[in-house]
């Protein structure tokens, strides 16, 4: 998607991957990947459209130009859909790959804020589609703790916006060119974990590959509180740890 871009840059306070001087000399390219079975939730479609329109109207940081493209990966095997998007991102040599599942809702400035956070991998801590809800991000397990790590909760008013985590799903996650290059195509394997007697998701294997490459994974708590996970109900962190009467 290409459009006229406002001369007013969007640059929230924080680190940036490139300094303002370097940004002004660089043409920014982003690939937005939507893996699905061919059906999108209405709140997601609306969020995606509004975000792309915002990208066409508002400059990200101080980049010379910006181009945001959409990659729709349709199929029945999620790992294959993610591989096809990763291949496209590598072949096109984009600066960033934004993963966004077709059951998420998010604010229009999502892409701007994630890029300007200045992290190689950063995303939203998505609330699970169950009641009570649980966060999807986890901290690395310490000796004696569960092999799947400990939950990272997103409070209503977080003390710090960004937090480093051990594992994170791909529901709404941005990756830099460095992270894209570090991921092998087999990084989305679904593996059985005998220590917990469950299969781990394809995104956990991806996190293992990032960890092996020395790339940190971060979450944006402020964004996490503005993201919805849609099914028969809009699941948010408001319902973490308890079932509210109005949700019954």
Given a contact cutoff of 8 angstroms between Cβ atoms, the answer to whether 68 and 1 are in contact is yes
Q: Judge whether 239 lies within some domain.
A: yes
Identify the three-state secondary structure at position 201.
coil
218 within a domain of the structure (yes/no): yes
Side-chain-side CA neighbours of 170 within 13 Å: the count stands at 29
Q: Using the predicted structure, report yes or no on whether residue 14 has a pLDDT greater than 70.
A: no
The domain spanning residue 181 has which CATH number? Answer: 3.90.550.40
Is position 5 within any domain?
no
In a domain, 134, yes or no: yes
> Which three-class secondary structure string do you get for 156-189?
CCCCCCEEEECECCCCEEEEEHHHHHHCCCCCCC
96-121 tens-digit pLDDT: 999 999 999 999 999 999 999 999 99
Q: 73 and 81 in contact (C-beta within 8 Å)?
A: yes
pLDDT band at 17 (very low <50, low <70, confident <90, very high): low
Torsion sign, CA atoms 214, 215, 217, 220 = positive
pLDDT value for 235 = 87
Residue 165 is assigned to a structural domain of this protein: yes
Domain count, the chain: 1
Q: Determine, yes or no, domain membership for 83.
A: yes
- State the residue range of the domain holding 59: 18-247
Is 8 inside a domain boundary?
no
Q: What pTM does this model have? A: 0.86
Residues forming beta bridges with residue 98, ordered by sequence position: 32, 174
Domain-embedded: residue 188: yes
């Amino acid at each position: 998607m290409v459009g006229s871009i406002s001369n007013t840059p969007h640059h929230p306070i924080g680190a940036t991957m490139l300094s303002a001087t370097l940004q002004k000399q660089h043409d920014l390219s982003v690939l937005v990947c939507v893996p699905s079975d061919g059906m999108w939730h209405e709140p997601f479609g609306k969020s995606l459209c509004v975000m792309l329109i915002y990208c066409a109207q508002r400059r990200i940081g101080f980049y010379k130009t910006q181009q945001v493209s959409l990659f729709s990966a349709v199929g029945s095997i999620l790992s294959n859909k993610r591989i096809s998007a990763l291949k496209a991102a590598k072949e096109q040599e984009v600066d960033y790959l934004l993963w966004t599942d077709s059951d998420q809702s998010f604010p229009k400035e999502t892409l701007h804020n994630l890029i300007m956070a200045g992290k190689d991998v950063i995303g939203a801590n998505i609330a699970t589609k169950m009641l009570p809800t649980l966060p999807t991000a986890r901290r690395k397990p310490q000796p004696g703790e569960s092999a799947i790590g400990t939950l990272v909760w997103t409070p209503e008013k977080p003390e710090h916006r960004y937090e480093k985590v051990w594992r994170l799903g791909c529901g709404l996650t941005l990756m830099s060119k460095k992270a894209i290059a570090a991921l092998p195509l087999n990084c989305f394997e679904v593996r059985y974990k005998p220590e917990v007697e469950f299969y781990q998701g394809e995104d956990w294997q991806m996190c293992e590959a990032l960890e092996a490459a020395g790339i940190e994974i971060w979450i944006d708590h402020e964004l996490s509180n503005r993201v919805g996970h849609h099914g028969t109900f809009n699941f948010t962190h408001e319902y973490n740890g308890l079932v509210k009467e109005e949700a019954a």
